[in-house]
Structure formats: C-alpha cells, structure tokens
Amino acid sequence: MARFIVRRIFWAIFLFFVATIVTYLIFWVIPADPARLAAGKAASTADIERVRHYLHLDRPIWWQYLFFLKNLVLHQSLGRSFVNRQPVRYLIGQDAPVTASLVIGAAIFWLSLSIPIGVLSALRPRSVLDRLSMTFVLVGISAHPVWIGLILSYVFGYKLHLTPIAGYCNFFPGTPGAECEGPIAWAYHMVLPWITFMILYMALYVRLVRASVMDTVNEDYVRTARAKGASETRVMLQHVLRNCLLPVITIFGMDLGLALGGAVFTETIFNLPGLGHEVIQAYGNDDLPMITGIVVFATVCIIVANLIVDIAYGLVDPRIKTR
Amino acid sequence: MRTKQVLSLFMLVGGVGLLVAALAVGGAASGTLRPGSAEALKGGTLRLVEANSDLDYVDPGLAYRTDDWTMLYAVQMLLVNFPEKSGTAGSQLYPEAATAFPTVSKDGKTYTFHIRPGLKFSDGSPVTAAAFQRAWERNLSPKMGSPLGVNDGFQYVIQGAQDFLAGKAQHISGITAKGLTLTFHLTKPNPTFVSYLSMQWFGAVKPNMPYSSSGLQTFPSAGPYYISSRTPGRSTVLKRNPYYKGSRPANPDQITFQPDVDQDQALLQTKAGEIDLDIGTVPPTAAADLGSQYGINKGRFFVGSTSCVSYLTLNTARPPFNDTTLRKSVNYAIDRPALLRVLGKYAGKRTDQVLVPGIPGYQPYNIYAIAGANVPKAKQVGGSAIGSAATINVVHANTPSQTNRAQIIEYNLKQAGYNATDVSTPATTYYETIGTKGTTYGVALAGWCADYFDPYDYINVLLDGRSIQQTNNVDLAFFDNAALNKQMDAAADLSGDARAAAYAKLDKEIMQKYAPWVPYYIASNRYFVSSRVKNWIYSSYLGEPYINALSVG
C-alpha cells in the first residue's frame, strides 16, 4: 500500500510540473506584452524596459519558471498580479470560497435531486415521470449555462422579484462596507447560481443513476437478496443503491475538480467574484501570474481529489493496489 | 417496491425542500436590500458597479485609469481642481487647497502656492504644503515603481526630479514646503504646469504616507470622502470625511463600488433598483431603447461628452499617405456617420478636428465631410494620384467594434478609387504594432483622452514629430513637420487667451494644410441610473459623473 501511495504522489508531482510548464509556454507564445500594458499609453521605450525589468519579463522563460517555483516552494508565493500588484495567493484565497460556495452548494442540490429522480425513472420506465425526466435531461444537456442563467435571472429576479438578479454576499459577517452578509443573504443570492450550475450536472446524473439502477435491479445478487426474504428497504439501500452509486461517486469526484470550467459561465452571469470570474479578467489583462496561480490552484485541487479517490479505491478494492 | 418509491420521493422532496427553504429565507432577507425611499438630499448609500473592469489602483501614486480617477476625485483635495459643474463651467480650474492661483516669478520658473489654513485629512491631521510635496515624491519615487509621472515627463519639469527618480536624492530639490507655503522650481517656464496639478497624482497625501510599489488600499485623504475599505476585485467603500469643511458636495453617506460585473445584468439590476449606476456605461445596443423610453438627460438616462477624440491615423512616413493631397482626399472619402452608427446610438459627436470642446483653443470648424462621405470631392482632391497609390493596409484590433469600422473604412476607400485591404491585429499588441517605427499600416484606428485639460496634451503630445522613437509612439501618424513643431513650441510658451488662440490656429492649420488624421468623432458616455439617483452632474474631463454629488436620498 505504501508503494502505491508513494507512486501516486510522484505521479501527482509530475502532473503539477506538466501543468505549470504548459501554462508558462502558452503564455510565452501569446502575442502580448504585459510590460507595455502596465507602462501606460505614453510610455517611452526606456519606461517599458524599466517595467519589463521590474516584472522580470526581461529574463528567459526558464529563469522565470524557476523563479516562480522557488517562490512557490520557499515562500509559498504565487507572485503578484501584473495588473494591481496584489499577491496572487491573497486574491485566490479570496476567490476560492466563492467558487466553493457555488460548486459545493450546487453539488448538494444536483445529488439530492438527481438520485431520487434517477431511481424513480428506473423503477418506472416509460412512465410519465420517466418521460418528463428524460425531457429534462435532454434540455439540461443541450442548453448552455449562460442562456439558462440569463433566463432565470430575468424571470425570477427581474420580473418576479423572487431572487436577486445578480450579486454575492459573504457567508461570514464582518466584511467592511458589505451591503449584505450572513448565511441567509448568502443563500438567497446563491439560489439562481446553484440552479444554473446544477442543471447540466443534474441532467447527466439523472441519466447515469437511471441506467445504473436499471442494470443493478436485475443483478443476481438483488434477486438472491429478495429470495432470502430481505425487506425492500434493505434491498434498495444495501444492494441496489450501494452498488449503483459507485460510478456516481467516481464521476462526482472528477466533476468537482472540473467544475472550475463550468463556474466561469455561472460566475460571470451572476457577478460572483470567484476563480472562474477572476480567470476571465486575468486573461483579458494578460495577467500571467494570476492565470498561473489559478492553474496551479486548480491543478492541485484536481490532483489531490484524484489522489484521495485513488487511495480510497486502493483501500476498497485490493485488485487496484496490486496493479 | 412501495418502500423504494417512498424512499425516492423522500429524497426528492428533501432536495426541493432545500431549494424552497433557501428561497424563503432569502425572501425574508431581501427586505433589507431594497433601496430606501427617503427624499433627503444627503444620506444613503450610493451603489456603483463597473462592467467588465476593476480599478487597478486607488493609491494616487499609481492610479491612472479613468475609473481610478473618478473614485479619487471624490476623496482627493488638489491644489487646483475642476468644480462640480456641468458643461464648460466644469472645465474651468479653481484653487481648491490653494488660497489662490500661484504667484509666478518673472522668469516663469518659480510657482508659489499658499495652502488654505484649517484643512484636515480624514484622520484629523492638518493639510500642509508637505502633503503636496509628498504627492510628487510618491509619483516619481523609484520605490513606487510607478511609470506614470515619468510617462508625462514630469522628471524634466521640476528641478532635481531626475536625480530623485534615479535614486540619487532623498527629496526633489525643486519642491520646497514650509508650513503652508509650497514652492515649485521648474527647469524652464511651463504654462501648462498649473494644469498638471489638476491630475489626481498630485492631491494631498499625508507627509508620512509610505512608499508602496503595490499601492495602498486605504489612506487618509482630505477631500469630501475617504476610502474606508478596499478589497481588490471585490469592493471599494468610500465614507464621508468628517473633517472636510469645504464647499464640494458630499451627498451620500457612503459610496460602494463593485467591479467586474456583467454589463447586461448591471443594466437589469439598475432598472430593478438593486444597484444605482454602472460607471462602465450601458450596453451600446441598449442605448436607443433607453433614450426613447426615458429621454436624454431627463432623470434616468444620461449622455455626456468626453475629452476623447477618435481618429483614423494616416501613416505619413510611407506611401501613399506621405502625400498630403491623398490625406485630404481620404478625409472626404470616409463616412463619419457610418463609423459612429456602429457604436450604437448617442455614442458621440462627429468631428474633423484635433481638439475637443472644453479644451482651451477649441473653436468649431468644418473643413471636411462630417455629414457623410463625399466621394466626388475625395476623387477630385486626390486626382490622378489615387490610381497610382499603393495599396492601403487598414489595420485594426481584432475586436468586433474595430473590425466593423475597418470594413466601413475599406469600403469607403475603395469607393473613392483606392486599393485597400483589411488587416486584423490582436488587440493586445495593436498599439505596439501601429506605434513601432517602420510599421506598414496605411490607416489605423486610434483614440486619445486628455490627461489634463490643455491643448498641449493633444497637439504637442500627439503631433510633435520630435517625439518619434523606435517603439511605443503616441505620434501614430509619424507626422513630423519642422515648421509646425516650432509653432507648437511657441504656443506652449504662451498663456491665457494668446495660448488658446495659438492652439486654435494650430488645430485648424494641422487639419486644413496637413491632415495627418481623419478625426471622426468625440466620444460620449451613456449612463443609466436607478430611480432614486438625483443631482446628476457630469464631468466631461473625467468622462464620468461626479459621484460625490450624486444624491440617493
């Protein structure tokens, strides 16, 4: 087991290097000059060179990358934003809870809704509920989150005044100058983003659960359990749900890591100051340290999540750790 | 089977219940977020947002963008400032922290200001001459890493500033502060100097305000407001300065600012009263509807002119636009109204001048075709040279707005008989491409907004050929005319009415005789406010409303 864990950790470190090097290389070939942007509209050539030196952009890319690694390892620093010179670690630390609010909140909803709907659809195939849920699946997978978000905020926020149109409130009170804060205001402002974000995933999970349950209920061990006189509750909880949720858990772990991509749309539409929103702004400003910082953070999150899943699988399934 | 269904239904109800609960408690909380309805002029919170952008700095030593300065205008006290008045009255400087305009020595090199007694920062400490000395030093200090003052060449303006910038001196020897007396010793006479002082870089800061290369987020200030908190990317909060005793308005108790919002959502939020104003302006496509629904400048939808001139720069360093007649011909060929229509309704006012209204020396004239393309005249002026002219590269950034305009320009040029081709360039390197000596563009889209309200900032800065360098030029036309350069020098040395008259003459002469540009419009900004916002006063200098004057009572 120890060898398996060590191997996985080395693999995670290798992935980290690959992701950060690729990010640096991509930025290197983009035709942009952050020094010129930072120097202002009337800067002389000497001024731009001074700014370039200040930002270390006059050094070779390998030097910049090693400097970045050195700061990361020795000082846990991700550098400073080219745009406002704030520490990237601080900005990410500020944005990450917002994205976590969106992703984790939406995940709770999509799991809470998709599992029962998927199970009911599987138990009553071609019933009205099943047909409705499959229609929802089709719409959920086809409709873009931007469109869904705009429609929801227009109908429920602007027309019906049931929710805010956009905006974010901190969960914890005490933010200076905040117009709204606290768990209630936070949840109220997150309702539409959660719904927008969860629809695609919920559609996918309904279909996944439905297919999984339909397969599982016909398994021999389910029939055996019933033959042995187990109650329906026990059969469902112990034999059907437990087994059909295994692929759901696997996919769920991966989806949480990939959620940053989806969060970009939802955060933009609802003005949520999260990582997805930040990465769009950073891209527009050629803010390499910010983009690299977010990539590093997302990479670490995905690597850690996968590492935990791998280790957990190794513990659960002896066949995996012996490979 | 029944149990299975009950179990599934239970989970379904649970999930829906969570959503409903969040909505229900949220509905209860929403009451606290609704805008107030009090009619008082003072009080309340003014809620500002900005679409797709954020303030980069609020530290006056680093701040440069228009939105930065809009915030700083509310918190800063300057030696000389623009009053909170609309129109031309708003572009007349008045002594704010100074008791009067400076006394100038006979040789024109020493400016002496006397600071009003009794002025205080938001922490209660007094404002003295040292506050303004420190502002200059923070702007030019190598410890700040600020490119700003250096860009405008301030190190050449004040004696000893170059040594200070190079780290060879602790202070700028040309600025002396004794109590309430502030003296500037210039390297040479400079009638523009007082205009420089209207820039937000030179507002009063505490004499011990530290140098910070990343910029301070909060600091005591002497204007009507101070920045009470700021979290970059999240929010900025301004509160009324309790020690401010001046005459400038300070209507809202508090001004909040949220950056980087979606432009369309911000408009919807303003209509619904969730926010009061998007200082990033309304979506261009919404302007026409807003204008017809609410009227212009009648309470909700406002259109205000800026100091920004948009122009097509013609590359005078290479054929075909090294030929003056062809430059004049193109000025007739371009369809200015069509270029403006691309930007949505109320986007600006057509022009064929370098200077903009409000700038001293601006005198309206009409030389070329501002009502639409005049193709016969363009052909007549260009004559046979059009047929033999080299192909014109119409270079533009790869944004939708610039691409649309470039297509119109290409069409107009072909209509007049020119060969033209559309060349798209990445937006991030656009100015680098057209601002590098030897560039092959023929026509390129460009624009300029004033740093300070003086014709020097347009004519000398943009068209004095002696400033041409290898890269990053602002004289994008590479226009260099020795006779005009001399006239520019002479105009820059004048002051008052003589200065305005000299620049008015230059403005007309440049376009009439040399036509290095095709100026096509003076930009306007379009704003929509919530129903509770009153007392709209617009600054054409800032290109923004005076936020300290807005009332949400």
B499 contacts: CB under 8 Å, gap ≥ 6: B191, B360, B361, B455, B491
Torsion angle in degrees (nearest 10) through CA of B510, B511, B512, B515: 100
Cβ–Cβ of A154/B152 closer than 8 Å? no
- What is the distance between the alpha carbons of residues B491 and B497, in angstroms, rounded to a whole number? 11
> What pLDDT is recorded for position B70?
93
B221 confidence band (pLDDT: 50, 70, 90): very high
DSSP annotation string for B369-429: --SS--HHHHHHHHTTHHHHPPPEEEEEESSHHHHHHHHHHHHHHHHTT--EEEEEE-GGG
pLDDT over 90 (residue B518): yes
- CB count in 10 Å sphere of residue A98: 24
User: Chain A: nearest CA to B122, how far in angstroms?
Assistant: 17
Contact B267, B530 (CB under 8 A): no
> What pLDDT is recorded for position B226?
98
B282 contacts: CB under 8 Å, gap ≥ 6: B263, B267, B290, B301, B526, B527, B528
pLDDT digits (tens, 9 = 90+) for B62-81: 888 888 999 999 999 999 99
Q: Are strands B538-539 and B443-448 parallel, antiparallel or unpaired?
A: unpaired
Q: Does B31 touch chain A (CB under 8 A)?
A: no
| Most distant pair of Cα atoms in chain A: their distance | 86
Cβ–Cβ of A273/B234 closer than 8 Å? yes
> What pLDDT is recorded for position B234?
87
The two three-digit tokens of residue B445, written as one number? 């889209």
- Assign residue B365 a region (left: φ > 0; alpha: ψ between -120 and 50; beta: otherwise): beta
pTM as predicted? 0.82
pLDDT digits (tens, 9 = 90+) for A74-130: 888 888 888 888 899 999 998 999 999 999 999 999 999 999 999 999 988 889 989
Cβ–Cβ of B147/A43 closer than 8 Å? yes
> What pLDDT is recorded for position A306?
76
Task: Identify the three-state secondary structure at position A173.
Answer: coil
pLDDT digits (tens, 9 = 90+) for A128-155: 989 998 898 888 889 999 999 999 999 9
A314 confidence band (pLDDT: 50, 70, 90): low
Q: Are strands B443-448 and B94-95 parallel, antiparallel or unpaired?
A: unpaired
Cβ–Cβ of B4/A236 closer than 8 Å? yes
Contact B223, A263 (CB under 8 A): no
| More confidently predicted of B243 and A126 | B243
pLDDT digits (tens, 9 = 90+) for B116-136: 999 999 999 999 999 999 999
Q: Which residues of A touch B12 (CB under 8 A)?
A: 113, 116-117, 120
Nearest to A188 among B3, B22, B432 (CB): B22
Q: Does B545 touch chain A (CB under 8 A)?
A: no
Residues 306-335 of B with CB under 8 A from A: none
Cβ–Cβ of B256/A177 closer than 8 Å? yes
The two three-digit tokens of residue B371, written as one number? 């009502």
Shortest CA distance to B448 belongs to which of B333, B313, B288, B255?
Answer: B313
**Range with the largest mean pLDDT of A160-174, A220-234, B287-301, B439-453:** B287-301
- What is the distance between the alpha carbons of residues B549 and A79, in angstroms, rounded to a whole number? 39
Shortest CA distance to A288 belongs to which of A99, A96, A83?
Answer: A83
Task: Identify the three-state secondary structure at position A174.
Answer: coil
Q: What is the 3-state secondary structure (H, E, C) of A78-137?
A: CCECCCCCCEHHHHHHHHHHHHHHHHHHHHHHHHHHHHHHHHHHHHCCCCHHHHHHHHHH
- CB count in 10 Å sphere of residue A263: 25
The two three-digit tokens of residue B24, written as one number? 């229900």
Task: Identify the three-state secondary structure at position B49.
Answer: strand
Torsion angle in degrees (nearest 10) through CA of B178, B180, B186, B191: -170
> What pLDDT is recorded for position A317?
60
Among B1, B57, B212, B231, the strongest candidate for a mutation testing the A interface, having the largest count of A CBs within 10 A, is B231
A227 contacts: CB under 8 Å, gap ≥ 6: none
Cβ–Cβ of B265/A166 closer than 8 Å? yes
pLDDT over 90 (residue B465): yes
Nearest to A184 among B25, B426, B469 (CB): B25
Q: How far is CA B263 from the centre of its chain?
A: 19
pLDDT digits (tens, 9 = 90+) for B325-352: 999 999 999 999 999 999 999 999 999 9
Cβ–Cβ of A273/B10 closer than 8 Å? no
Q: Are strands B45-51 and B277-278 parallel, antiparallel or unpaired?
A: parallel
**Range with the largest mean pLDDT of A13-22, A186-195, B12-21:** A186-195
- What is the distance between the alpha carbons of residues A281 and A297, in angstroms, rounded to a whole number? 17
Q: Does B398 touch chain A (CB under 8 A)?
A: no
B496 confidence band (pLDDT: 50, 70, 90): confident
- What is the distance between the alpha carbons of residues A289 and B57, in angstroms, rounded to a whole number? 17
Contact B82, B541 (CB under 8 A): yes
| More confidently predicted of B6 and A231 | A231
pLDDT over 90 (residue A6): no
Q: What is the DSSP letter of A42?
A: T
